[in-house]
Chain A
Amino acid sequence: MLRWPELQESFRIATSSLRVNLLRSILTTAGVVVGVVLVVLMGWTINGLDAVWEQTISIIGKDMMYIDKWNWAGGGNWRKMEARSNITLDQALQLQQRMESAEEIIPLIRKWGGSVSLGNTSIRCSVTGTTAAYGNTAAGTAAAGRFFNDVEEQSADNVVVIGYNVNKNLFPTSSAVGQYIKIAGIPYRVVGVIEKRGFLFMDFVDNEVFIPLHAFRGAYGFVGRSFSVGIKTGSERLLDIVRDEATGHMRSIRNVSPLDESDFSINEMKAFDQQAKNIRVGIWVVGMGLTILAFIVGSIGIMNIMYVSVTERTKEIGVRKAIGARRSSILLQFLIESALLCVTGAVIAFPIAQVLVGSARFLAVSVFELDWISVVSPLIPLDLLGIAVGVSILVGLLAGLLPAIKASALDPVEALRAE
Chain B
Amino acid sequence: MSQPIIEIANLVKRYEMGDEEVFALQGVTLTIGRNEYVALMGPSGSGKSTLMNMLGCLDTPTSGSYLFTGENVSDMDDDDLAEIRNREIGFVFQTFNLLPRATALQNVELPLVYSGMAREQRMQRATEALTRVGLADRMDHKPNELSGGQRQRVAIARALVTSPSIILADEPTGNLDSKTGQDIMRLFGELWRGGNTVILVTHEEDIARHARRIIRLRDGRIESDEVNPHAPLA
Contact = CB atoms under 8 A, between A and B. Distances in A.
Given A413-B53, A413-B58, A416-B97, A323 B122 contact: no
Interface stretch (B32-40, B78-86, B129-137, B173-181): B78-86
The residue in B82, B97, B116 that gathers the most chain A C-beta atoms within 10 A of its C-beta is B82
Interface string B139-164: 00000000000000000001000100
A324 B83 contact: yes
Interface residues of A, number: 27
A412 B58 contact: yes
A323 B58 contact: no
A322 B114 contact: no
A412 B99 CA distance: 16
A315 interface: yes
Give the one of A9, A17, A321, A322 with max B CB within 10 A. Answer: A322
Contacts of A316: 99
Interface string B108-132: 0011111111110010000000000
A323 B91 contact: yes
Interface in B42-81: 53, 56, 58-59, 78-79
A148 to B, nearest CB: 79
B116 A321 contact: no
Nearest to B56: A322
Given A322-B58, A323-B158, A5 B99 contact: no
B60 to A, nearest CB: 10
A66 B136 CA distance: 87
A415 to B, nearest CB: 10
Contacts of B99: 316, 319
B231 to A, nearest CB: 28
5 contacts: A6-B113, A324-B85, A324-B162, A416-B58, A416-B97
Interface of A: 3-6, 8-9, 16-17, 20, 315-316, 318-329, 411-413, 416
Interface of B: 53, 56, 58-59, 78-79, 82-83, 85-87, 91, 93, 97, 99, 101, 110-119, 122, 158, 162
